[in-house]
Structure 1
Amino acid sequence: MKIAFVHPDLGIGGAERLVIDAAVGLQSRGHQVVIYTSHCDKTHSFEEARDGTLDVRVRGNTLPANLLGRFAILFAILRQLHLTIHLLLESTTYDAIFVDQLSTSIPLLRLKAPVFFYCHFPDKYLAQPGGLLKKLYRIPFDAVEEYTTAASDAIVVNSNFTRSVFAKAFPRISRTPGVLYPCVDITHLPTTPPSQTPTLQFPEGTKVILSINRFERKKNIELALKAFATLRGHPNFQNLRLVLAGGYDSRVTENVTYHHDLQSLASTLSLTHQTIKPTSSALALDLDPNTNVLFLLSIPGPLKEELLRTSTLLAYTPTNEHFGIVPLEAGLARLPVLATNTGGPLETIVDGDTGTATATGWLRPADEGAWGEVMRAVIEMSERERESMGSAARERVVTRFSLETMAGDLEDGILSMLNECRNKGGVPVVGVLLAVLLVAVVVCLPQIARTT
């Protein structure tokens, strides 16, 4: 099959990782894949998006992402419509189109090919809360999201948790979406460090508690900081390090301000801290040996893999995370995970409190005291106990969340959609009329771009 992917911004994040993995997985099964995106920064994207593994085409990047920091959803929609027009005008034909995050252009894209929609989470619940004006502002966008999502030929979500939220968010959609779990490439992460891997030269005997998240407030990274601070009285505290690593984009105001706030919190908690923005060419990072907390901004892949291999515990802090790919990456690296007892981790982590030999980590409320207790217990575990839990984590990932499994399920889903479309017929008239309206709007985009 020839399959087009449509994704708003191909940066670094869980949604982007899924899109990359889905595209690579289908490509490995013999299909031709093209990714269309409104933005792809070669210095802030996954390796497969910039090393030629995937055919990535940037379209419709002339419009701004927001206006003075506001109207992000409006401009995201306009940018996607602009991208969609470019795709429709290209002569290439596709058997199917994979769309995720933004559903607005689905009726228009269906003029090109059947649309397979992947819902990471309803956007209406991702929007930041606000007052009456914000609620009124969101009404038309929420209505459009529900209608255009329903217009897709197939819908899947990333977890059973998201499926329950989907039903609440879109009561007028009678279909129950399927579940297609994100994955990790089990062939990618080596069990021993390759040559020329960036190194973190901590003092001998250091135990690292690791957090990997984008620097966004909803990720609740301060939970890891506060929990780590409860260990100050531990006799081996001087040998402990908290590494807060993850996606950071200086263009995103929230990334900048949240990182600053986390630094301030570390200082308030009497934790010394250091911030480094590594580069892929740096083979050794200049670390202060007395630092309690290390901030690593936008870490390159090899360094991330080294951290997963060598850390003692992954502290995965988000509450009600839709799925969470990092716990799978940790499990593949035999690293136990501590996560909140909400959302996707309930489906990926087997709690150690169950007493089962297949336990892969711990699930706790988002409480610094409860998290501090687990951190203390983990650093006092024997190496044999930790290795046993790590082996169970890897086995669970390999058998249930591999790239091959996800690619096969996605391929089956697309083929099933195409069979249903052949039996069902063409695009609804309402969809065509909406598509014509969207075309009329996008015709005005060059003028909009010039005036903004």
Structure 2
Amino acid sequence: MLQIVFLHPDLGIGGAERLVVDAALALKSKGHRVSFLTSHHDKSHCFEETKDGTFSITVVGDWIPRHVGGRFHAAFAYLRMIFTAFYLALISNLKPDVIFCDQISACIPILKYGTGAKILFYCHFPDQLLTKRQSFFKQIYRAPLDWLEEKTTGMADLVLVNSHFTAKVFKDTFTSLKSLETHILYPSLNTEVFDDAKQTYGKYHIKRDAFPSDATCIFLSINRFERKKNLSLAIYAMAELKKLLSDAEWNSVHLAMAGGYDENLAENVEHFHELQDLLGKLDLSGKVSFFKSVSSTAKMALFKSASAVIYTPSNEHFGIVPLESMYMEKPVIAMKSGGPLETVDNEKTGFLCDENPISVAEAMVKFIRYPDLAKEMGSAGKQRVKTHFSFTSFANTLNGMILSIV
């Protein structure tokens, strides 16, 4: 039995957070002692497993600001994690055998030499590719952070990536690490958690006025309210869909948009209002309902109501939503790029579309006019998740990797 400590910047709600929570559950199921250190954990905005006592969670350095005047988010994120690493190395009573670190690699040297533990770094996607360099000042500001990311990532004892797509991007981005061996560990679903939640979703009732009474075909979008998630594509697709349908068909269609929403994040607030404004411009008011930071049981209820799920991010490094959708027996309409190329079986468990509203709308039409198609693809999707992305396989693979570096 090993002592394993997870360092993660913010234990909120998102794909990266779901991954680390599932990894912690997997390693705990193998008999290891698991703890979390994080710089932020809001119990009103997190996954249930991080607030029900399943894990020991210590919050460190939350007093350090996230930004100054809306700027320098990356620098302060690095600073918060470096402070957390010093806390683990110098103050904490934890004596980890392995440290699971993700998103921010700058803390790896402190962890490696300050604790003597083996370091596993999970690369969801290179951090330097998640921000635009629109000005000379931004390029200068990011240069030392990019250098630090590359150098410190290479110091980990084991580097994991979430897909073949990310593995290629990793090699292309970190040119000095081309000889570094990366290992692919696909994110998985803890299907037991899904099954437990599925048993209780009847306790959660979506208000009847959330959807029109004649809405018999509901499309569901689940993603954080961030611009990079390309949520507006689903709304533009609705506008194109209207052109393809008869009045009766159009009256039966509704779009539900659910996702992580943090009032403390300016982008979440701003983008939410942008999407609402877009509905007005496209004359789609009444055709779209929003659900902020839904619980697991609420999400199950939304899945139950949906005919299909629309996954809009382009070049997404993996994307856990398609797996969730398929396991819940809902077909997926996703972009023909990034992770969905490895998770969605085109024309069998859903449709992979070009990144434009017309292509998405044409896929939506098929589920409206051929209702049995959703059932057929949904059944195939669940089997695909069980075969290729099972939690048991994920847990065994991760545990084997942990033992190999120890």
CA shift for structure 1 position 128: 2.6
**Which of 180, 187, 195 is the equivalent residue of 2:185?**
180
2:49 corresponds to 1:29? no
Deviations 1:311-362 (A, max 9, x none): 011000000001000000000000000000000000000000xxxxxx1000
Q: Does structure 1 conserve the Cα–Cα contact (< 8 Å) formed by 2:215 and 2:251? A: no
CA shift for structure 1 position 310: 2.2
Report the residue type matching 1:231 in the other structure.
L
Rounded to whole Å, the distance in 2 between the matches of 1:91 and 1:312 is 50
State the partner residue of 2:395: 407
The correspondence of residues 220-369 of structure 1 with structure 2, limited to 5 A, is 220-233=230-243, 234=245, 235-272=248-285, 291-352=286-347, 359-369=348-358
CA shift for structure 1 position 136: 1.2
Q: Does structure 1 conserve the Cα–Cα contact (< 8 Å) formed by 2:8 and 2:39? A: yes
State the partner residue of 1:210: 220
Deviations 1:115-155 (A, max 9, x none): 00000000110123321111111111111001100000000
Report the residue type matching 2:11 in the other structure.
L
**Which of 119, 122, 144 is the equivalent residue of 1:115?**
119
Rounded to whole Å, the distance in 2 between the matches of 1:304 and 1:195 is 11
Rounded to whole Å, the distance in 1 between the matches of 2:76 and 2:356 is 37
CA shift for structure 1 position 92: 2.2
Rounded to whole Å, the distance in 1 between the matches of 2:54 and 2:260 is 22
State the partner residue of 1:387: 375
- Match of 1:64, SS state, is coil
- Match of 2:333, SS state, is strand
Report the residue type matching 2:291 in the other structure.
L
2:87 corresponds to 1:53? no
Q: Does structure 1 conserve the Cα–Cα contact (< 8 Å) formed by 2:315 and 2:337? A: yes
Q: Does structure 1 conserve the Cα–Cα contact (< 8 Å) formed by 2:201 and 2:298? A: no
CA shift for structure 1 position 93: 1.0
CA shift for structure 1 position 388: 1.6
The correspondence of residues 183-194 of structure 1 with structure 2, limited to 5 A, is 183-190=188-195, 194=201
- Match of 1:404, SS state, is helix
State the partner residue of 2:21: 20
Q: Does structure 2 conserve the Cα–Cα contact (< 8 Å) formed by 1:338 and 1:363? A: yes
CA shift for structure 1 position 401: 1.1
Q: Does structure 1 conserve the Cα–Cα contact (< 8 Å) formed by 2:215 and 2:254? A: no
CA shift for structure 1 position 192: 5.7
- Match of 1:156, SS state, is strand
Deviations 1:195-238 (A, max 9, x none): 42232424255211000010111111111001111222423211
State the partner residue of 1:278: none
**Which of 105, 108, 120 is the equivalent residue of 2:107?**
105
Rounded to whole Å, the distance in 1 between the matches of 2:11 and 2:56 is 12
Rounded to whole Å, the distance in 1 between the matches of 2:278 and 2:201 is 36
Closer, same or farther in 2 for the Cα pair 1:263/1:126, shift >3 Å? same
CA shift for structure 1 position 375: 0.5
CA shift for structure 1 position 295: 1.1
State the partner residue of 1:134: 138
| TM-score (ref. length: structure 1) | 0.85
Rounded to whole Å, the distance in 2 between the matches of 1:81 and 1:188 is 33
Rounded to whole Å, the distance in 2 between the matches of 1:34 and 1:198 is 34
Deviations 1:174-193 (A, max 9, x none): 21310000111122223665
Q: Does structure 2 conserve the Cα–Cα contact (< 8 Å) formed by 1:182 and 1:406? A: yes
CA shift for structure 1 position 269: 0.7
Deviations 1:157-184 (A, max 9, x none): 0000000000011111121310000111
Rounded to whole Å, the distance in 2 between the matches of 1:97 and 1:78 is 18
Closer, same or farther in 2 for the Cα pair 1:192/1:240, shift >3 Å? farther
Aligned-pair identity (%): 42
Closer, same or farther in 2 for the Cα pair 1:7/1:399, shift >3 Å? same
More helix per residue: 1 or 2? 2
Q: Does structure 2 conserve the Cα–Cα contact (< 8 Å) formed by 1:198 and 1:302? A: no
Deviations 1:354-387 (A, max 9, x none): xxxxx1000011111111111111111132x321
State the partner residue of 1:94: 96
**Which of 203, 216, 219 is the equivalent residue of 2:229?**
219
Q: Does structure 1 conserve the Cα–Cα contact (< 8 Å) formed by 2:222 and 2:321? A: yes
Rounded to whole Å, the distance in 1 between the matches of 2:320 and 2:124 is 12
**Which of 340, 359, 362 is the equivalent residue of 1:373?**
362
- Match of 1:377, SS state, is helix
Q: How many residues align?
A: 393
Deviations 1:87-130 (A, max 9, x none): 11223211100000000010110121010000000011012332
Closer, same or farther in 2 for the Cα pair 1:94/1:363, shift >3 Å? same
- Greater Rg by CA: 1
